[in-house]
Chains A and B, each alone.
Chain A
Amino acid sequence: MSEISTDKGTKKKGQPKKLSTRVDFTPMVDLAFLLITFFILSTSMMKPETMEISMPSKDKVKEEEQTKVKASNAITIMLGKNDKVYYYFGTPDTAKVKITTFAPKGGIRDILLKRNMDVAKQIFELKAKKANKQITQDQFTAESAKIRDNKAAPTVMIKATDESNYNNLVNILDEMNICSIAKYAIVPIEGRDKEMIKKKDPDSGLK
């Protein structure tokens, strides 16, 4: 097929023809690449990434068994319309609501990091150690659990309003991960919180 005969007919009569043992591989290469193309298009190499979350169970918890969050450590984050974030520290009676965004600089991340500086710094150093292969994965998990178990670390309550979307929820959970906040929970929003948002932001869209 693609082979061009180069001999000049030097064969003598009567001699048996020497057949070439060479096989033309071109069709086989065609086939191989066709299959490669097919598999590249129809398969994916990536496994999806996931976030693990544990929600509290709906079983009624008795008053005395409930863990009370220390007011000085509590941060309440509320997710609003158009990616707006409202937050306050402590109890709703004394606190003032502020508005911020999801921006990587000057947004909610800076506020959380500021409050969680001790833990975040230690985790950051630990991560650097792990990246340099000074400690193993198991050591890392054990150490980071120890660091996260800090009494002074803030507890974050995430309250999403009906105006927010799923992206906001995932973003805020991601911020918890980035800021190494160990204690956080997704809590249903209360009427009082809604009133506070409405007072602070007239175009919050809340009913």
Chain B
Amino acid sequence: MPKVKVARKSTALDMAPMCDVGFLLLTFLLLTSTFIKKEAVQVATPKSTSEIKISEKNVLQILVDNDGKVFIGLDKQADRATILEKVGEKYGLSFTAKQIKDFSLVPSFGVPTEKLKAYLDLPAELRDMKENALGIPADSLNNQFKDWVKAAREINPDLIIAIKADQKTPYPKIKNVMSTLQDLRENRYHLITSLEEAPKGL
């Protein structure tokens, strides 16, 4: 009996369609998503049923962590440089070109102005350390936070203020931030929350 010959078939697959799909997905992701911004502190935002989206440009983000420490983040790099010079002027601090450049690369920060120079001289990887998350003083005796917001508003009149605070932040700390904003006649602002499904029915 003759042997049954099994035809040898090529094991090669055509990878071209897979490649197409890969790049299609890549394009989609690139166009629809935004890069995650690094923030000075991690906060767990409270949930709400509100579905209003915030615009991505011209946002002044005020971060409040669960101890009530205040951090500030501006989204435009050019604005960051101007605000530093402005606030520096007020506190009699002058910054070197390198410090200003470094500051414009920091997405959000929370350091009292007197420690700002030392903070900016640190190498970038050391700036994220916990010891450097001091918070901007925002109490009535030493309200540097007020000066930062004021300077930010002067630089950019279209600025939208957004407060992103932790669920566990004690109310007096939030009250303090809110009343500072009220002092500056910033009466409309956003509270950043995460989405929760609205209850069905009444």
Q: In the complex, what residue of chain A is closest to B201 when comparing beta carbons?
A: A124
Q: Could you mark each residue 58-77 of chain B with 1 if its beta carbon is under 8 Å from any beta carbon of chain A, else 0?
A: 00000010000000000000
Q: Within the assembled complex, what's the spacing in Å between the Cα atoms of A195 and B165?
A: 29
Q: Within the assembled complex, what's the spacing in Å between the Cα atoms of A159 and B192?
A: 21
Specify which of A4, A33, A55, A162 is in contact with B12 (CB 8 Å cutoff). A4
Interface residues on B, range: 35 or more
List, in ascending order, chain B residues with CB within 8 A of A173's CB. 48, 191
| Structural contact, B29 and A36, CB atoms closer than 8 A | yes
Q: Within the assembled complex, what's the spacing in Å between the Cα atoms of A108 and B168?
A: 20
List, in ascending order, chain A residues with CB within 8 A of B185's CB. 57-58
Q: Within the assembled complex, what's the spacing in Å between the Cα atoms of A51 and B50?
A: 6
| Structural contact, A42 and B29, CB atoms closer than 8 A | no
Q: State whether A162 and B202 are in contact (beta carbons under 8 Å apart), knowing that A2-B12, A50-B54, A177-B48 are contacts in the complex.
A: no
CB B24 to nearest CB in A, in angstroms, measures 9
Q: Chain A at the B interface: mostly helix, strand, loop or mixed?
A: mixed
Specify which of A28, A42, A50 is in contact with B36 (CB 8 Å cutoff). A42
Specify which of A4, A124, A177 is in contact with B50 (CB 8 Å cutoff). A177
Q: Within the assembled complex, what's the spacing in Å between the Cα atoms of A163 and B174?
A: 12
* B96 beta carbon closer than 8 Å to chain A: no
Q: In the complex, what residue of chain B is closest to A186 when comparing beta carbons?
A: B178
Q: Within the assembled complex, what's the spacing in Å between the Cα atoms of A124 and B198?
A: 12
List, in ascending order, chain A residues with CB within 8 A of B18's CB. 25, 29
List, in ascending order, chain B residues with CB within 8 A of A52's CB. 50, 52, 188-190
List, in ascending order, chain A residues with CB within 8 A of B36's CB. 42-44
Q: Within the assembled complex, what's the spacing in Å between the Cα atoms of A56 and B179?
A: 10
Q: Chain B interface (Cβ within 8 Å of chain A)? A: 8-16, 18-19, 22-23, 25-26, 29-30, 32-36, 45-54, 56, 64, 162, 164-172, 174-175, 178-179, 181-183, 185, 187-196, 198-199, 201-202
Q: What are 19 contact pairs spanning A and B, CB under 8 A? A: A6-B9, A25-B16, A29-B18, A32-B19, A32-B25, A32-B26, A36-B22, A40-B29, A43-B35, A43-B36, A47-B56, A48-B193, A49-B195, A52-B50, A58-B182, A109-B199, A165-B170, A169-B171, A174-B48
The 9 closest A-B pairs by CB, nearest first: A32-B22, A25-B15, A43-B33, A167-B167, A50-B190, A170-B46, A166-B169, A174-B48, A3-B12
Given contacts A32-B22, A44-B35, A56-B187, 12 further A-B contacts (CB under 8 A): A25-B18, A25-B19, A39-B30, A43-B35, A44-B36, A166-B166, A167-B168, A170-B46, A171-B46, A174-B47, A174-B196, A177-B49
Q: Chain A interface (Cβ within 8 Å of chain B)? A: 2-4, 6, 24-26, 28-29, 32-33, 35-36, 39-40, 42-45, 47-58, 79, 104, 109, 113, 120-121, 124, 160-171, 173-174, 177-178, 186, 188
